[in-house]
A and B are shown apart, each in its own frame.
Chain A
Amino acid sequence: MIEISGLTKRYGPHTVLDNIDFTVESGSIAAVVGRSGAGKSTLFRCVNLLERPTSGTVRVDGQELTHLPGRELRVARRKIGTVFQSANLLRRLTAAQNVALPLRFLRLPDDEIQQRVYDLLKRVGMLNRANHYPAQLSGGQRQRIGIARGLATRPSVLLSDEATSGLDPETTRSILRLLTELRDDLGVTMVVITHEMDVVRSVADVVAHLEHGQIVEHGRVGEIVRRSDSQLATALLPSEPAPAPVDGEVVWQLRYSDATVDPNWLSRVSRELDTDIALLSGLIETVGGDQAGRLTVRVSAALSPTAVAGAFAAYGIHAQVASPTEELVAS
């Protein structure tokens, strides 16, 4: 479990992080999203204590880390494993030697290091690449080694900074699957800093949106996507701009408001209203374990808007007439 409270970082007159409060429960995966310049990298560097925050605290399993003196801080850092953007492997060390590095710093006996490195490489599926140098590995393989190295000291929190940026979609998925497996098997708490909404959709339990050094929105991913006025929700499930209306028809924007929606809702609402419903665009996904959907449909203008909205509402779907003049902003 990691608790960040009141975290503030200033560089001269610039406040880069402004009073960040953020708690991640043991064994869950939290994503921190934001545009570049929002303060994500500074948050990363403050949480793994590469830099001391100006004020505020970072607690891992109840231990406050920000005020520890040098030597104790070094020991405490091992509670937080770090996965860097583009892995940051040492070029002159083999995959196995890279994974062993944090254990050498710990001065563990050689046989224990070997055993742990073997287990870690097996864990991330890289045993057959143990003696390869980073230059001989693909981006995804390098990142697997980076993850194994991050886990070497058996941290309770794994912090990852844009670990999948620059990887192709297939490799990104395999890395995200690995992270989820590690969380499930080892119970590691994960904080994933990213600008990719795909990452949030596929692995995160909770998400925080960082903007101008502040968390402007946060919550469970499954719950956030059902919010109506949420920037994050729109970014997570982008909706198409409303199409131009057709005479005698009304365009409706639909949004799942319940966590579980009867998958037959479209045909059922159609029967209940005794009309055709034209499906114009839509996206239905399972996000954070819940169903989420955003769709655009067209219904005859002859029907009463209240009746239409009511029919959808009965299936846990929030419906509103799309404004014809103003386009919905897709992220």
Chain B
Amino acid sequence: MSTHALALGTPWSGVPALVFPALWQTAEMVGIVMCIVVSLGGPLGLLIFNTSPRGLAPRPRLNAAVSWIANLGRSLPFLVLMATVIPFTQLVVGTTIGIQAAIIPMSLAGVAFFARLTENAIREVPPELLDVGTAAGASRWQIIWSIQLTEALPGLVAGFTLNVIAMIEYSAIAGAIGAGGIGYLAVNDGYEQFDAHIMLACIGVLILIVQVIQFTGDRAVRSLLH
């Protein structure tokens, strides 16, 4: 590949027209996935912690089963996971390419990841604080809500930040199945068609959004710590 070939491509003036819609697609994909991730991964993490010996309702067998399921979602590299679940994706969304198809494997990986992050954040809450709730006559739900989630909030926000960044990364990998978004643009237009401007713009945009998300997340965590 020659430098001449690399220099070919979309003129800088045409780059925004390609990058911005792609950025929007990424945001859409990650946004939908994160909704699914928080609403399924959060409860799953709570279930894993609270069925463990340190939890509010220790159930060793259930704990082992749920834990195993969460590990399953995290044991395969994302590309392999995506290929593995193609039949399931076809079944759920009726297609194996495009944004819709990408959402399924991304959600599976994301839910498993967020479940572990939630479990870890709640494990950081001192166990004596659960006794405070129990001794004050709180129900399990009240303890989960007012003590576990309240005290673990900074950890949960840090986990959420980490998860969003991981999902942006996965959305780029999902570009391989034509998922659209900034990753797809980088791979399809930038890398495979040797379009250096697109490639550089994508890299720049990805670095920028990850930095912004991490910065915002860190700020949020700091403001939640007292």
Seen from chain A, the residues whose Cβ lies within 8 Å of a Cβ on chain B are 48, 50, 74-78, 80, 82, 84, 88, 90-93, 101-102, 104-106, 133-136, 149, 152-153
Closest to B133 in A: A105
Chain B interface main SS type: helix
A50 contacts which chain B residues (CB < 8 A)? 131, 134-135
Chain B, 11-26, contact with A by CB distance < 8 Å: what is the 0/1 string?
0000000000000000
Q: Are B146 and A77 in contact (CB under 8 A)?
A: no
Complex contacts, B146 vs chain A, CB 8 Å: 101, 104-105
B129 interfacial contact with A, CB 8 Å: yes
Q: Which of B114-141 touch A at CB < 8 Å?
A: 126, 128-129, 131-139
Partner of B136, one of A101, A133, A135: A101
Q: Is B224 interfacial (CB 8 A cutoff)?
A: yes
* Complex alpha-carbon distance, A80 and B134, angstroms: 11
CB distance from B148 to the nearest CB of A (A): 11
| Most chain B Cβ neighbours within 10 Å, of A50, A75, A92 | A92
Residues on the A chain within 8 Å of B136, using CB: 77-78, 82, 101-102, 105, 149, 152-153
User: Does B153 lie at the interface of the complex (its beta carbon under 8 Å from any beta carbon of A)?
Assistant: yes
Tell me which residues across on chain A come within 8 A of B133, comparing CB atoms.
Answer: 101, 105
Shortest Cβ distance from B153 into A: residue: A92
Complex interface: chain B residues within 8 A of A90 (CB) = 129, 132, 147, 150-151
Residues of A within 8 A of B142 (CB): 104-105
A88 vs B136: C-alpha distance when bound (angstroms) = 13
Give every chain A residue within 8 A of B138 (Cβ-Cβ).
74, 102, 105
Residues A153 and B135 in contact in the complex (CB < 8 Å), given A88-B126, A91-B226, A92-B150:
no
Q: Which residues of A contact B131 (CB under 8 A)?
A: 50, 82, 84, 88
23 CB contacts below 8 A, A to B, read: A50-B135, A74-B138, A74-B139, A77-B136, A80-B135, A82-B132, A82-B135, A84-B132, A88-B126, A90-B147, A92-B150, A92-B154, A101-B132, A101-B136, A104-B146, A105-B137, A105-B139, A105-B142, A105-B146, A135-B226, A149-B132, A153-B136, A153-B137
Which residue from A78, A92, A104 sits with its C-beta under 8 Å from B151?
Answer: A92
Which residue of A is nearest B131, CB measured?
Answer: A50
A75-B137 contact, Cβ under 8 Å, with A84-B131, A105-B146? yes
CB distance from A167 to the nearest CB of B (A): 17
Please measure, in the bound complex, the distance between the C-alpha atom of A200 and the C-alpha atom of B121, giving whole angstroms: 40
Given contacts A84-B131, A84-B132, contact A92 B137 (CB under 8 A): no
Known: A90-B151, A92-B150, A92-B153. A48 touches B137 (CB 8 A): no
Residues in B with CB closer than 8 Å to A88 are 126, 128-129, 131-132
Q: Is the CB of B150 within 8 A of A93?
A: yes
Bound together, the chains give a CA A92 to CA B156 distance in angstroms of 14
B132 and A92 within 8 A (CB): no
Q: How many residues of chain B are within 8 Å of chain A by beta carbon?
A: 22
Chain A residues, Cβ within 8 Å of B153: 92
Contact code string B212-226 (vs A, CB < 8 Å = 1, else 0): 000000000000111
**Complexed CA–CA distance, A80 and B137 (Å):** 10
- Nearest-neighbor residue (CB-CB) of A102 within chain B: B136
The listed residue (B126, B134, B154) touching A77 by CB distance below 8 A is: B134
Q: Which residues of A contact B151 (CB under 8 A)?
A: 90-92
Q: Other than A84-B132, A133-B226, give 18 A-B pairs with Cβ distance below 8 A.
A: A74-B137, A78-B136, A78-B137, A82-B131, A82-B132, A82-B135, A82-B136, A88-B126, A90-B129, A92-B150, A92-B151, A101-B132, A102-B137, A104-B146, A105-B138, A105-B146, A134-B226, A136-B226
Contact B129 A77 (CB under 8 A): no
CA distance A92 to B124 in the complex (A): 13
Pick the 8 closest A-B CB pairs, nearest first.
A102-B136, A133-B226, A82-B135, A105-B138, A77-B137, A78-B137, A74-B137, A88-B128
CA distance A152 to B138 in the complex (A): 13
User: Measured between alpha carbons, how far is A199 from B224 in the docked complex, in Å?
Assistant: 38
A50 to B147, CA, bound (A): 16
A81 to B223, CA, bound (A): 32
A82 to B130 alpha-carbon distance, docked (Å)? 13
Q: Which residues of A contact B134 (CB under 8 A)?
A: 50, 77
CB distance from A190 to the nearest CB of B (A): 15
Bound Cα distance from A215 to B134, whole angstroms = 27
User: When the two chains form their complex, are residues B226 and A92 in contact, meaning their CB atoms are under 8 A apart?
Assistant: yes
Taking each of A48, A75, A136, which has the highest tally of chain B beta carbons within 10 Å of its own beta carbon? A48
> A82 CA to B138 CA in the complex, in Å?
13
B161 CB to closest chain A CB (Å) equals: 18
Distance (whole angstroms) from the CB of B140 to the closest CB of chain A: 9
CA distance A84 to B131 in the complex (A): 9
With A and B bound together, what is the CA distance between A102 and B138 in angstroms?
Answer: 7
Residues in A neighbouring B139, C-beta threshold 8 A: 74, 105
Cβ contacts under 8 Å, A92 to chain B: 150-151, 153-154, 224-226
